[in-house]
Amino acid sequence: MHADSLTYIFLNAAIINNFVLALFLGICPFLGVSAKLKTAVSMGLAVMLVMLISSICAYAINSVLVSYDLEFLRLISYIAVIASAVQLVEMSMKKFSPALFRALGIFLPLITTNCAILGLALFQTTKEYDFVQSVSYSLGAGTGFILALVLMAGLREKLELAEVPSISQGAALSLMLAGILSLAFMGFAGLGA
Amino acid sequence: MAGRKKDDTITADTFLEGVWRENPVFVMLLGMCPVLAVTNSVMNAIAMGVATTFVLIGSSTLVSLLRHVIPKQVRIATYIVIIATFVTIVDYIIQAISLDLYNALGAFIQLIVVNCIILGRAEAYASKNRPLKAVVSGLGMGAGFTLALLCLGSVRELLGSGTLLGFSVFGSQFEPWVVMILPPGGFFVLGGWLLLFNWLKERKEKTEVKEALHAR
């Protein structure tokens, strides 16, 4: 596979360099909303949507900033764009699909401080992806995020019924689980170019 | 305003609270992404801790100074812009000091913007307190964050490459546990530290119960 091909970019973001398990982006929602499978899926989809929108916006903004030599404003404008993208998604979702809006509830506004989104925007800038590649990258990253969240939620739902020592309950156990998941994903590492 | 005087006093507790009792990483589980990502060596951990502390202090000061000026409705957006400004400064400073360090930390310097500790402090503390107090508390939180990063960084570097701050500790026969400096190691070590703290806490509670029974 060529390193610039769209399939490679997608798989790279989704599996080989999984945003959560290999790059440590978006750990807070990963640990916070992975207790139930259903919320995990909704959260994952919302994040993917915001990723797609902010990736497109970041691409546009970056080309404007570069043409005016204003790269030092990149971070500030990215975070402003992400915050407004989240707001926009929230508003349009409220109008067109109130059921989904209610299902996501508090998770929507929290996406602003999800570092996976800002990370995606920054990485695509450093890697100098063009428009189509950026879209593919953001879709891959979103898929990877959903994958990690769903896997984790499935494991934690089973763990609810397991008997564990009292000191390992809660975050400690979740982190150990995440470590094992991450270990599994290390198996893909050799595929990277 | 009679009650204000009392709240304004700065005690050692203002500083120590962030370091230990309300440690942002071990107790509040905030800002996990950089904690896991950049702690594969002690040097990276220190650099990240110092950078975050700087942003924390800078943004706390500015938010605290402007706390009567910022309108309530747009406060979060204002905080984020303030934080992003300081992060951009740190980003350029680290680039100027050491390009190696900059490359090692990668995007995580810029990602300080979305570190929940900083926004949380701005919203919950700096916007309600005098600048000096906000700075002291910010310093405490930063120290607590750096401490946590060091806890992880030292274990991971020691086991993962057999060195500490680049100096060899175990000699040449040591076979490094490579997994420790790879992503899974971050999860395992942080999980291990949390286990240790839970164990200590439970033991303390047990002895307290025992003592209470003896006293009766």
Reported as a pLDDT band with limits 50, 70 and 90, residue B106 is confident
* CA angle (B37 as vertex; A150, B52 as ends), nearest 5: 120
**Amino acid at the residue A57:** C
Reported as a pLDDT band with limits 50, 70 and 90, residue B4 is very low
Predicted local confidence at residue B12, as pLDDT: 75
Q: pLDDT over 90 for what percent of chain A? A: 17
**Amino acid at the residue B120:** G
Mutate to test the interface with A, among B48, B87, B113 (most CBs of A within 10 A): B113
Handedness of CA A165, A166, A170, A172 (dihedral sign): negative
Reported as a pLDDT band with limits 50, 70 and 90, residue B31 is confident
* CA angle (B118 as vertex; B114, B120 as ends), nearest 5: 100
Q: Mean of the pLDDT values across residues A152-172?
A: 83
- pLDDT single digits (tens) A36-74: 888 788 888 888 888 998 899 999 999 999 898 888 888
Nearest Cα neighbor of A39 from A105, A122, A125 is A105
Residue B123: HSE in the Cβ half-sphere, 13 Å Cα cutoff: 12
- pLDDT single digits (tens) B108-137: 888 888 888 888 888 888 888 888 888 888
Question: For B129, left (φ over 0), alpha (ψ -120 to 50), or beta?
Answer: beta
H or E element at residue B167: strand B167-168
Secondary structure of A11-35 in the HEC alphabet?
Answer: HHHHHHCCCCCCCCCCHHHHHHCCC
Among the partner-chain residues B80, B182, B202, the one whose CB lies closest to the CB of A166 is B202
Q: Mean of the pLDDT values across residues B9-31?
A: 78
Min CA distance, B4 vs chain A (Å)?
33
Residue B167 bridge partners (DSSP): B164
* CA angle (A177 as vertex; A42, A155 as ends), nearest 5: 50
Q: Which residue of A has its CA nearest to B117?
A: A113
Q: Mean of the pLDDT values across residues B168-196?
A: 84
Contacts by residues B16-23 (CB-CB < 8 Å, ≥ 24 positions apart): B16/B140, B17/B137, B17/B140, B18/B137, B18/B138, B18/B139, B18/B140, B18/B141, B18/B142, B18/B143, B18/B144, B19/B140, B19/B143, B19/B144, B19/B147, B20/B144, B22/B141, B22/B144, B23/B144, B23/B147, B23/B148
- pLDDT single digits (tens) A30-46: 887 777 888 788 888 88
Helices (H) and strands (E) in chain A, counts: 9, 0
CB burial of residue B2 (10 Å; 0-12, 13-18, 19+): exposed
Residues of A in contact with B119 (CB under 8 A): 113
Residue A56: HSE in the Cβ half-sphere, 13 Å Cα cutoff: 8
The answer to whether the Cβ–Cβ distance between B114 and A122 falls below 8 Å is: no
Among the partner-chain residues A72, A80, A175, the one whose CB lies closest to the CB of B187 is A175
User: What tokens appear for B52 in the block?
Assistant: 């975050």
Residues of B in contact with A47 (CB under 8 A): none
- pLDDT single digits (tens) B34-55: 888 888 888 889 999 999 999 9
CB burial of residue A13 (10 Å; 0-12, 13-18, 19+): buried
The CB density around residue B109, as the number of other CB atoms within 10 Å, is 26
**What is the predicted ipTM?**
0.83
Min CA distance, B11 vs chain A (Å)?
32
Min CA distance, B51 vs chain A (Å)?
16
Q: Report how far residue A137's alpha carbon sits from residue A132's, in angstroms, rounded to the nearest whole number.
A: 9
Q: Mean of the pLDDT values across residues B145-170?
A: 85
Within an 8 Å CB–CB cutoff, is residue B33 touching chain A?
yes
Contact yes or no for B148/B48 (Cβ under 8 A): no
Within an 8 Å CB–CB cutoff, is residue B103 touching chain A?
no
Among A105-109, A111-115, B82-86, whose mean pLDDT is lowest?
Answer: A105-109
Predicted local confidence at residue A192, as pLDDT: 60
Reported as a pLDDT band with limits 50, 70 and 90, residue B5 is very low
Q: Report how far residue B16's alpha carbon sits from residue A70's, in angstroms, rounded to the nearest whole number.
A: 41
Reported as a pLDDT band with limits 50, 70 and 90, residue B7 is low
In chain B, domain spans: 13-215
Predicted local confidence at residue B2, as pLDDT: 39
Quote the mean pLDDT of chain B: 84
Residue B164 bridge partners (DSSP): B167
The answer to whether the Cβ–Cβ distance between A183 and B111 falls below 8 Å is: no
